[in-house]
Amino acid sequence: MENVTRISLNGEWYLKGFDHSEGGKAEAFSPICDLSDWMKAEVPGVVHLDLLRAKKIPDPFYRMEELEVSWVEKKDWWYRKDFSIPEELMSKEVVEIRFNGLDTFATIWLNGQAVEN
């Protein structure tokens, strides 16, 4: 059986909404992007729940407040996380990053480069 190393990327991430295509122009994918105006987020998670925790929106599950947060769907939402991998993985021929639960269109960036699937 193959020797498999698993590293969870769950937990604290950062989140920011951009107008359509503005995240790329702002270089949100850059490893040196300033995160000072990004909010904390939880992965696995949902944008609406992260915004609710950050008190940026009212509870969309209460009464008709879903209409009040419809603007959320008009934004591109970027999640970021900095992480390190053990040195022994750097010599591996194949390293797989698995994102379970992405439920919409997504581009994954790693060290400033878009990852091809």
Q: In this structure, are residues 108 and 115 in contact, taking their beta carbons and an 8 Å threshold? A: yes
Is residue 2 in a domain? no
Cis peptide before 44 (omega within 30 of 0): yes
Q: What is the CATH number of the domain that holds 85?
A: 2.60.120.260
pTM of the model: 0.86
Distance of alpha carbon 105 from the chain centroid: 12
**pLDDT reported for residue 3:** 74
CA 10/CA 21 separation, integer angstroms: 26
- Mind listing the pLDDT tens digit of every residue in the chain (117 residues)? 467 788 889 999 999 999 999 999 999 999 999 999 999 999 999 999 999 999 999 998 888 888 899 999 999 999 999 998 888 888 888 888 888 888 778 889 999 999 876
- The domain total for the chain is 1
In which domain, by residue range, is 39 found? 11-114
**pLDDT reported for residue 73:** 93
